[in-house]
Amino acid sequence: MAKRKPKKAGRKKIAKRRTVPRCGLCGKTGNLTKTECCDQWICDDEDQYVIFSYARNSCYRNHSRYTLCGYHYNEDHQGDWKTCAKCREDFESELEMYVESGTNEYNFEKLENPPDYDPTKCNKCGRIIVLSEGGYSQRADEYWCPECTDSKFPKGIFG
């Protein structure tokens, strides 16, 4: 009678981890591409955007349109977007939007030490307006909150 060899105890299968690319913004792994501006993996989903919907449902579009990185690339600026004097100059009249574009959730890398800025205020009532959230009116250098816009232009005036 042949003796059986004892099973080797403690031997576990070691699974090799495959590095699967993920969108650097949302973490999804399917239908990815690389950004032209910074060579990062991102969802290839710009086709999901419905024109004039103002939806923020496309990782690719959000990065390209709402970040300094995307702006810098789209405007053909040279060098690094984080130190680009031309980008800073382009946003000088709305420094709030420069800071927002450099620090929002659509960035792979955020602007370090963003400049301080005075908040934008309604020219009529003085209420703070957050430019990145929309919902305001603008004429030349004046900003009006929704309430002051409605009082100046009552509903139905244009229709």
DSSP for 12-74, please give it: ---PPPP-----TTT---SSEEE-TTT--EEE--GGGPPTTS-----HHHHHHHHSHHHHHHH
CA gap 46, 60 in Å, rounded: 6
Residues 28 and 99 in one domain: yes
Residues 107 and 139 in one domain: no
Residues 107 and 147 in one domain: no
Residues 98 and 35 in one domain: yes
Residues 27 and 79 in one domain: yes
Q: What is the pLDDT of residue 103?
A: 97
Q: Confirm whether 95 is domain-assigned.
A: yes
Residues 64 and 125 in one domain: no
Structure tokens at 149: 């816009």
CB within 8 A of 85, min separation 6: which ones? Answer: none
Q: Confirm whether 58 is domain-assigned.
A: yes
What sign for the dihedral angle of Cα 138, 144, 147, 149? Answer: negative
Residues 38 and 66 in one domain: yes
Residues 44 and 92 in one domain: yes
Residues 107 and 86 in one domain: yes
Q: What is the pLDDT of residue 136?
A: 92
Domain interval for residue 97: 21-118
Digit-coded pLDDT (tens) for 9-57: 555 555 556 689 999 999 999 999 999 999 999 999 988 888 888 888 9
Report whether 100 contacts 91 (CB < 8 A).
no
CA gap 26, 129 in Å, rounded: 28
Q: What is the pLDDT of residue 8?
A: 55
Residues 47 and 25 in one domain: yes
Q: What is the pLDDT of residue 151?
A: 85
Question: Is it the case that residue 158 has pLDDT exceeding 80?
Answer: no
What sign for the dihedral angle of Cα 78, 83, 87, 88? Answer: negative
Digit-coded pLDDT (tens) for 128-157: 999 998 889 998 889 999 999 888 776 655
Residues 64 and 138 in one domain: no
Q: What is the pLDDT of residue 156?
A: 56
Digit-coded pLDDT (tens) for 72-118: 999 999 999 999 999 999 998 899 999 999 999 999 999 999 999 99
The total number of structural domains that make up the chain: 2
Residues 69 and 108 in one domain: yes
Q: Confirm whether 137 is domain-assigned.
A: yes
- CA angle (15, 18, 19) in 5-degree steps: 145
Q: How confident is the model at residue 159 (pLDDT cuts 50, 70, 90)?
A: very low
Q: Confirm whether 2 is domain-assigned.
A: no
Q: What is the pLDDT of residue 98?
A: 97
Q: Confirm whether 69 is domain-assigned.
A: yes
